[in-house]
Structure 1
Amino acid sequence: MARVFINNVDSYIGEQLAKIFSNTVVGSTVEEAVDDDEVSQRAQVKYEVVGTLADKTADKPACVEEIVEAKNVDELLTALIQCDVVVYDISSSESDVEDCLLACNALHEQIANFKSPKTFICLSTVMTWCKTKPNEPDEPEQPFTEEDYRRRKPHPNFKSEINVEKQVIKLGKTDKTRFLTYVVAAGLPYGGKEDIFHYFFKVAWHGDTEALNIIGTGENIIPSIHVQDLSNIVTSVADSKPKTRYIVAVDDSLSSMTEIITCISKNLGTGNVMNITREEALLIPEISQRIFDILSINLRMEATWVKDGAKFEWVAESGILENISTVVDEYKRSRGLLPIRLCVMGPPAAGKSLIASQLCQHYKLHHLKIADVIQQAIEKLEKQAARAEAEDGEEDDESAQQAQETLDLLNESKQENNDRYEDQYIIQFFTEKLLSMPCQNQGFVLDGFPKTYSQAKELFGNKEEPEDEDAPRLEYDSKIMPEVVISLDAEDEFLKKRIMNLSESVVAGTHNTEDLFLKRLAEFRAVNTDDQTVLNYFDELEVHPDHIDIAADTSSNMSQVMEKIIKTIGKPRNYGPTEEERLELERIAMEKKIKKEALEKLEQQRKEEEEKKETQRRKEEWATRVKEVKEQEEEVLQAQSYPLRNYLMKHVMPTLNQGLIEVCKVRPEDAIDYLAEYLFEHNPQVD
C-alpha cells in the first residue's frame, strides 16, 4: 500500500489532488517498468489518501481514507511518518506556508527512523518568479525554464513562499536515498469550480453587467495550467522521482489577461470587456489583495520537465483559450449551474403569466413572453440599423445594413398580415433569444409559446447537420428544448367565470375584455383539438406534459399549483442568493419576525385586557344579581312575616309583655321559672 498525505483535501487544488492520487496506480506514470510481474503488481496498488481539512465542518471527501487533525501536532506527525508521499500546497493560502515548513522540518528530523524512503512535494506558485529579470535584456520575451530557478525573484508579497521553497530543496539534500524533496511552481490554476478566475466566470454567468473587467491594460502575460493537469504533474513527480528538484508546471499558452477575460466573456457572458484601474479592482469585494497580486503577474514560462519527463494525458495542454468550451462545461457542472428550461401552456386566463412569473422568481429564470421577445428583437435591430451611417457619413459595417433590410421586411410583413408578424420571424426571434447566453446559463420559462404543433416543430427542431454523416440526426435541439412542459387545464365555463369576476379597472386595456377573451378562447380551442395540439409535439418526443387542473386550486395566487410544479422540477440550479442578498433576506426575515412577535404581543395584551374586562363585568353582574336575590328574599320574608306578627301581637305579646313587666317588678331569683309560672296562670285560654 502506498499512502499520500495532502493538506486541505477540501480546497480547490487539494480536492483535485486527492481525486487524481486515489485513482492513480502506483508507478503508472513511470515510462518503463522492470518486468511484466511488476506491471501486474502495480495494477493492484493505488494510492491511499489521507489529509487535513481547511474547513473543520466539511465532510470527508469520498476519495480520502482518513482525515487528520491539523492542530494536533503529534497526530499530524504520526500521519506524515506513515505516508510514502507528502504533498503540501502553499499556493492557495498564505496560512499554509508556515505549516509546510514545519512538516518538512519534522520529517527531516525523523530520517533515521524511516522504514521506507519518503517524498516531500511543496506545491508552490510562479509568483516566486514574478520579479525575475530576463536572461537577455534584448530578448524580454524569452520564457523562463527550470534551469533559471536559482535566479528567480519573488513578488514582494510572496517572499515567505520563496523562503519555504529554498528550505524544502535544502532539506532534501541531506539523504537523497531516504528523503527526496521537490518544489512544483504552478501557474494560475483554472478548470472545475474555478479559483483565481472564479470572479470573472461568476459575473459572466450571471450576465448582470454589460462587460467583464480587465485590470489595467490587460497586456500582462499570465502563466496558467488546468487544475487536473497540475494534479497529474504532481502525481508524476511522486511516481517517477525525477532528478530535477525544481519543476515548473504551466501549459503551452502565453495568453494575456485581455485574451483570457475576453474569451470568458464571449463563451459565458455578453462578449464585452472593459478596462478598469488597479484602484477600482481593489474595491471589488471578490478580488482580495492576494488575488489582485496574482492576476497582475506578467511572466513567460516554459515547463521543460513536464514536456520531456512527465507521462500523463493532458486535459488542456494548449491553454484556456483553446479549451474554453470544455472549461466552461466543467465550471457549470462542478458548480451545479445547469439551466432549467420550462414551458407553460394553457388556454387564455389560465394563469400562465402568473405561474411563469413566480417560477422565474423562484428559480431565477428568464421570462419569455411573445410581446417582450418581439419588442426586444425589434429594438436590437433598430440599434444595429442606427449605425448604418457613421458620424462622418460613411457606410457602417454590413450587419447594420442587414438589420435595416430585416426591419423593412418586418414592416412589410406586418402590413400584409393585419398588423401581425409572420411565424417565421417570431420563430427566428425566439430562437435567438433561447440561444442567448442568459437563457443558456440560467434557463427560461416560455409563456404560452409555441401555440401550435407546427410552431413547436419549427422552433425546437434540430437545424444542424451532424458532424458525422453516419450519425443519426437528432429530432430536436437539446440546447433549447424544454425539459418540463406544464399544461394548465380548465373548462371554458370556469375561465369565463374567472374573467367575469375581474373588476373593470383590471380588465380595461387588456385582452381580457369579454369580446376579446371569447375570441382568444375560441382561437385556442380551434388549434388545440384532441387530434391536433401543440402538446402532441412534446408527447411524441417523450417530453410528456404535466397536466394540472387549475380549477382544483382554491388558494390565492395559485400557490397550490406552484407547489405541484416545484415538486416536479426540484431544487434551483444556480448560485442562490449572494452574500448581500442573503443578509438582506435575513434582515427582512428578522424584521418580519420582530413585527410578528410585536403583533402577537399586542394581540396577547388585547386578549388579556378583554379577559380582565370580561371578568370584572361578570363579577359586577354577579354582585348585582346576588343583591337582587337578597332583596327579593327580604321582600318574601317580610311578606311571609305579616300573619305571624299579627298572630303574635294579638295572642302572645300582651300576656308576654305583662309577664316581663311583672318579672322586672318582683325580680325573683329564677326569672325564667317565674315568667313561665306567670304565663301559665294568666293564659287567656283562647279557643
Structure 2
Amino acid sequence: MGCDVVIYNVTQHADQVEEALWAVSALHNEIEQFSGPKVFILISTVMTWACSKPVDPDDPEVPFIDVIFWSRRAHPNFKLHIDLERSVVKMGKTKSWLGEDEIPVFGDGKNIVPTIHVHDLASVVYNVIEHQPSPYYLLAVDNSENTMEEIVKVCLASHQKVMEIDSILVNLRMEAVYIKKLFSFNWLCQFGLVENIELVVEEFRQTRGLLPIRLCVLGPPAVGKSTVSKKICEYYRLHHITVKGTISETITQLEHAVRNPDPDEENSTREAQAQDQLSAMRESVEQNRGMDRLLDVSVMKDKLMTNPCKNQGYVLEDFPQTYAQAKDNGSLVWATEFVLCLDASEAFLVDRVLNLSERLVQQHNYEPDNFLRRLASYKDKQTADETVINYFYELDIIPLNDEVNCLPLMQKVFDTVGQPRNYGPSSEEVMKEERRKADERLRREAQHRAEEKRVEAEEARDRAAHWDEWQRGGNFGENDKNKKHSLEAQSGPMRNYLMEHIIPTLSQGLIECCRAQPQDPVDFLAEHLLKNSPF
C-alpha cells in the first residue's frame, strides 16, 4: 500500500501467478483508500499468444501487435497466465493499471522466438513508470526475428523446465508497436540474442563469477613444473598447456588439413602454407630444437585463443621462456593472471634426475648431457638484463616464488588464486555422483526386497494359520473360499478392461511425467492422456 509502483514478474515460476493475482486483487479492493495513483506492472510471457490464429491467414509473416491483444490464445500450459493478464487489464480500467509482456530467450528449430534483453525490459518498465501510457497492454520485444536454429548455434540451455521447453517451441512473429511509438531509450540488444551473443556471454560470466583462471608455471628443468601444473589443473579444472603438447596437436591438425584438402580453389594458398608450416615443424622436432627456435610463438598464441582456454582457463607450463617470447605473444598480455615461479638448488635438481626412472628420463629428454645443457641455458636466461619475470613485473603481475616443497607450495597457490570459478562438476565428479546414486538406489531396492520377503513370510504364516482354522471350521472355510472366487469373477471384466485400455497409456504418461518433472504434474498428465488417447 505504501508503494507507487508494483511490478510482478510471473515468467519464471508458475506458482508466482497465484500470488500476483492475490496481490492485484488485494490492491484493487483497497482502491478507495489510495492517497495517490498507483501503477501495477505485470511482466507476463508471450506463451499467452502461442496458440493465436494468424493475423492474415494468407500471409503468415504478418506479425502480432499490441493492438490485437484481445484476440490472443494461450498455450494450454499457460492458461493461468492469460487469466491473470485479463484480470490485471480488467482491474486496471478502474484506475491506472498497466500490462507488460516479456519473453524468454531460449530457442531451437525453424520457428521464430521473440526475445528481449532483461536490461531493455527494465528500460521499458522504467518508461511505463515515467510516462504511464494509455494502452493497457504492451508487447516488449526487440527487433530480431531469430529462429531457434539460429539461437542454438550460439547458446544451448540444458536441464530446462517444462515452461522453458514450451517457450523454445513457440513460433511467433511479433512487433512492439506501442513501445516504438511511445518510448525513446538506448537499447542494449535491439537486434536480439544472436546479434549480441558475445555481450550476453560476458554478462553471464561476470554476473556469476565464472571467470577463467589463467596461470603460468615457470622454473628450471626437473623442478616439478609438470607435477605442480597437473595438481593445479585438477583442483581448478583447468586445461594443461605445454609446449610439446601444443606442437604435437598443431602437427596433427596440419597433417589432417594436408590429407583432406579443400576442393575450393580459393583455399589452395592456405593449404600450401599449411604444408610449408608442417614441413618446418617436423624438421624442427626431428632436430630436437627448442621452442625458442621453432618458427615463432604463433603456435602457442593460437592455442591460448581457443574457446576452452579463453572461457575456462588454463595452466601454461614452461612458457614463455624468454623476454622476447613473452613480449611477442600478445595474448599473454590479457591472458595471464598469476605466475608461479618454482626454484631449487642445482644439487637438488641433479639428484632428482638421477633418481628418475629410465622411462621418465626418455620422456622428458633428461639424458645427462642434455639436462646439464638445458640447466645452463636456463641460468643464462635468468642472468640476462631482460628476463621473463621482468616482463610480468612490467605488467604489474607479481610472481609467486617458492622453493619446491609440494604441500606448503600448493596451499600457497590455492590461497593466492582463491576458490575455483567454474561452471559445475567435472565429468569425473558427475560419474562419481551417478555411481553414488546408483549404489544408493541398489541399497534401497535390496532393503525393499528384504521387506517384501519379510511381509510375504508373515502373510504365509497367516494364511497357514487361517487354513488350519478353516479346516477345523468345516464349511465355514468353504464359504469364504466361494465368496472369494465370486468376487474375483465379478471384478475380472473391470480388471481386464483397465489392463487393456487404461493402464498402458497411464503408465506411459507417468513415465513421461517422471522424466519431464513438470511444475504441475496433474495438468501435464491430463494433457498427455488427452494427446495419446487410443480412442
Q: TM-score, normalised by structure 1?
A: 0.59
Q: Which residue of 2 aligns with 1:261?
A: 152
1:492 to 346, 359, 363: 346
Aligned amino acid, residue 549 of structure 1: E
Residues 344 and 447 of structure 1 are in contact (CA less than 8 Å); yes or no, is this contact kept in structure 2? yes
Residue 410 (1) aligns with residue 278 (2): yes
> Alignment partner of 1:347: what SS?
coil
Q: Which residue type is aligned with residue 356 of structure 2?
A: L
Measure the CA separation in 2 of the matches of 1:341 and 1:381.
27
Change (3 A) 1:397 1:374: farther
Change in 2 beyond 3 A, CA 1:413/1:99: closer
Q: How does 1:321-332 map to 2 (within 5 A)?
A: 321-332=194-205
The reply on whether 1:569 has 2:438 as its aligned counterpart is no
Whole-angstrom distance in 2 between the partners of 1:297 and 1:254: 12
Q: Structure 1 pair 285/141, CA: closer, same or farther in 2 (3 Å)?
A: closer
Q: Is the 8 A contact 1:423 1:455 kept in 2?
A: no
Q: Residue deviations 1:471-517, cap 9 Å, x none?
A: xxxxx742x3x121111011211111222233446545542333332
- Residue in 2 aligned with 1:160? 80
State the Cα deviation string for residues 373-407 of structure 1 (Å, max 9, x = none): 01111212222223216xxxxx3464476245323
Aligned CA distance change for structure 1 residues 580 and 148 (closer, same or farther; 3 Å): farther
Contact 1:260-1:321 at 8 Å conserved across structures: yes
Match of 2:112 in 1: 221
Q: 1:87 & 1:532 partners in 2: Cα distance?
A: 60
Closer, same or farther in 2 for the Cα pair 1:297/1:579, shift >3 Å?
farther
Task: Provide the residue aligned with 2:28 in structure 1.
Answer: 108
Identity %: 40
1:522 aligns to 2:376 (yes or no)? yes
Whether contact under 8 Å (1:385, 1:401) holds in the other structure is no
Q: CA deviation at 1:450?
A: 1.4
**8 Å CA contact retained: 2:219, 2:343:** yes
Following superposition, the deviation at residue 304 of structure 1 comes to 1.2
2:65 corresponds to which residue? 145
The verdict on how the C-alpha distance between 1:431 and 1:130 changes in structure 2, with shifts beyond 3 A counting, is same
Q: Is the 8 A contact 2:49 2:74 kept in 1?
A: yes
Q: What residue number does 1:96 align with?
A: 16
Tell me the equivalent position of 1:11.
none
Q: Distance in 1 between matches of 2:303 and 2:256?
A: 17
Q: What per-residue deviation string (whole Å, max 9, x for no partner) do you get for residues 276-327 of structure 1? A: xxxxxxxx96022211100011101111111111243321122223322322
Task: Tell me which residue corresponds to 2:319.
Answer: 449
**How many Å apart are 1:247 and its aligned residue?**
0.6
Could you say which residue in structure 1 is the equivalent of 2:128? 237
- Structure 1 residues 446 and 286: alpha-carbon distance in aligned structure 2, compared to 1, 3 A threshold: same
Q: By how many angstroms is 1:575 displaced?
A: 2.5
Provide the secondary structure at the position in 2 that maps to 1:251: coil
Shift in Å, 1:136: 1.4
**For residues 507 and 424 of structure 1, what CA distance do their matches in structure 2 show?**
23
| RMSD (Å), alpha carbons | 2.7
Does residue 1:428 correspond to 2:298, yes or no? yes
How far is the alpha carbon of 1:255 from its aligned partner?
1.0
Aligned to 2:44: 124
Deviation at 1:523, TM superposition (A): 2.4
What does residue 289 of structure 1 align with? 162
Give aligned pairs, total. Answer: 436
Q: CA 1:369–1:324 in structure 2 vs 1: closer, same or farther (change >3 Å)?
A: same
Counterpart position of 2:458: none
The C-alpha deviation readout for 1:5-57, integer Å capped at 9, x for no partner, is xxxxxxxxxxxxxxxxxxxxxxxxxxxxxxxxxxxxxxxxxxxxxxxxxxxxx
- Report deviation, 1:128: 0.5
Q: Are the equivalent residues in 2 in contact too, given 1:388–1:397 (CA < 8 A)?
A: no
Query: Which is greater in Rg?
Result: 1
Distance 1:565 1:448, change over 3 A: same
Q: What residue number does 2:456 align with?
A: none
In 1, distance between residues paired with 2:281 and 2:232? 34
Cα contact 1:387–1:400 (8 A) shared by 2: no
Out of 327-336 and 311-320, give the one that drifted further. Answer: 311-320
Q: Which amino acid aligns with 1:219?
A: K
Which string of whole-angstrom CA distances, capped at 9 and with x for unpartnered residues, describes residues 635-674 of structure 1?
Answer: xxxxxxxxxxxxxxxxxxxxxxxxxxxxxxxxxxxxxxxx
Point out which structure has higher relative CO (alpha carbons under 8 A, 6+ apart): 2
Give unmatched runs, 5+ long, in structure 1: 1-80, 190-196, 198-213, 266-283, 390-394, 462-475, 592-687
1:587–1:429 Cα change, 3 Å = same
TM-score (norm 2): 0.75
**Counterpart of 1:164 in 2: which secondary structure?**
helix
Distance 1:99 1:385, change over 3 A: same
Report the counterpart of residue 315 of structure 1 in structure 2: 188
Q: Distance in 2 between matches of 1:230 and 1:412?
A: 55
Q: 2:247 corresponds to which letter in structure 1?
A: I
Deviation at 1:422, TM superposition (A): 6.9
Q: Secondary structure at the match of 1:137?
A: coil
User: 1:454: how far off?
Assistant: 1.5
In the superposition, relative to structure 1, how do residues 133 and 508 fare at CA in structure 2: closer, same or farther (>3 Å)? same
Say yes or no: does 1:306 pair with 2:179.
yes
Distance across 1 between alignment mates of 2:431 and 2:131:
50
- The separation in 1 between residues aligned to 2:360 and 2:189, in whole angstroms, is 58
Which one of the candidate residues 237, 247, 259 is aligned to 1:364? 237
Looking at structure 1, the residues matched to 434 and 347 of structure 2 have their Cα atoms a distance apart, in angstroms, of: 44
Q: Secondary structure of the residue that 1:188 maps to in structure 2? A: coil
State which of 337, 341, 345 in structure 1 corresponds to 2:218.
345
Structure 2 residue 53 is the aligned partner of structure 1 residue 133 = yes
Query: Take 2:430 and 2:277, find their aligned partners in 1: how far apart are those partners?
Result: 48
Tell me, in whole angstroms, the C-alpha distance in 1 between the residues paired with 2:65 and 2:132: 19
The match for 1:502 is 356
Residue 97 of structure 1 and its aligned partner are, at CA, apart by 1.0
User: Once structures 1 and 2 are overlaid, which stretch shifts more, 501-510 or 432-441?
Assistant: 501-510
Alignment-mate amino acid for residue 274 of structure 2 = T
Contact 2:112 2:172 in 1 (8 A): yes
Unaligned residue ranges in structure 2 (runs of 5+): 440-535
| Contact persistence 2:44–2:103 (CA under 8 A) | no
Kept after mapping to 1: 8 A contact 2:292/2:321: no
Contact preservation (8 Å) 2:11, 2:103:
no
Q: Which secondary structure state, in structure 1, belongs to the residue aligned with residue 74 of structure 2?
A: coil
Go from structure 1 to structure 2 and tell me whether the alpha carbon gap of 1:477 and 1:254 turns closer, same or farther (over 3 Å shift).
same
Q: How far apart in 2 are the matches of 1:329 and 1:491?
A: 44
Please tell me whether the aligned partners of residues 110 and 148 of structure 2 are also in contact (alpha carbons under 8 angstroms).
yes
* 1:52-79 residue CA offsets vs partner (Å, 9 max, x unmatched): xxxxxxxxxxxxxxxxxxxxxxxxxxxx
Q: Assess, with a 3 A threshold, how the Cα gap between structure 1 residues 259 and 459 changes in structure 2: closer, same or farther.
A: same
Q: Give the superposition deviation at 1:580.
A: 9.1
Where does 1:28-107 land on structure 2 (aligned, <5 Å)?
81-107=1-27
Paired with 2:277 and 2:427, the residues of 1 have a C-alpha distance of 48
The secondary structure found in structure 1 opposite 2:402 is: strand
- Tell me the SS of whatever aligns to 1:249: coil
Q: Could you tell me whether the CA contact under 8 Å between 1:346 and 1:489 is conserved in 2?
A: yes
The alpha-carbon deviation at position 134 of structure 1 amounts to 1.9
Is the Cα–Cα contact under 8 Å of residues 251 and 281 in structure 2 kept in the other structure? Answer: no
- Structure 1 residues 580, 248: closer, same or farther in 2, change over 3 A? farther
Shift of 1:114: 2.1
* Match status 1:460 vs 2:333: no
Contact kept in structure 2, 1:228 and 1:315, CA below 8 Å: yes
- Structure 1's 240 and 583: CA in aligned 2 closer, same or farther, altered over 3 A? farther
Kept after mapping to 2: 8 A contact 1:388/1:401: no
Compute the displacement of 1:226 (Å): 0.5
